Homo-oligomer: A and B are copies of this chain.
Amino acid sequence: MDTKTSLESQLKAAGRRMTPQRKLILSILDETGDHLDAEEVYRRAKKINGNLNIATVYRTLSILKDMELIEQRYFARDHSVEYYESVNKGEHYHFTCLGCRKIIEVETPKIVQVQKEFSALTGAKFTHACVCFEGYCASCVNDEENLTL
């Protein structure tokens, strides 16, 4: 897989060793389409290597974060839901449905526009934006209307 090779080679380039534990964690991060938190990465990896320790997962995620290969992101207004995501997914944001907990990806240039406007106005330089939207998706809005209105 493309990203995997790249993750591996980037780690190596940074002078890191490629252990079976790391390969496993990288492949899980790489091959999933889901949004995983540290615990879930651990759960999945542990199924394959029962000996794996959660500290190793945290250590690996921490290295990847430091190298900016993944980002730690959050869902929900109170940030109760956390996950890690490969940085090469491109600029996008998330909407969490409070009804069914579904995550919908939101694409829009407007956030970047806000950053540009603000930069032009103040001279500031942006490095990152964290954006989470919360509400009810179309089908949950309907359900709600049927039940309560």
Contacts and interface: CB of A to CB of B under 8 A. Distances in A.
A137 B119 CA distance: 9
A122 B136 contact: no
Interface residues of A, number: 37
A137 to B, nearest CB: 5
A132 B133 contact: no
A104 B130 CA distance: 15
A129 interface: yes
A25 interface: no
Contacts of A138: 122-124
Interface string A102-113: 001010101101
Interface of A: 71-72, 74, 77-79, 95, 97-98, 104, 106, 108, 110-111, 113-115, 117-118, 122-138, 141
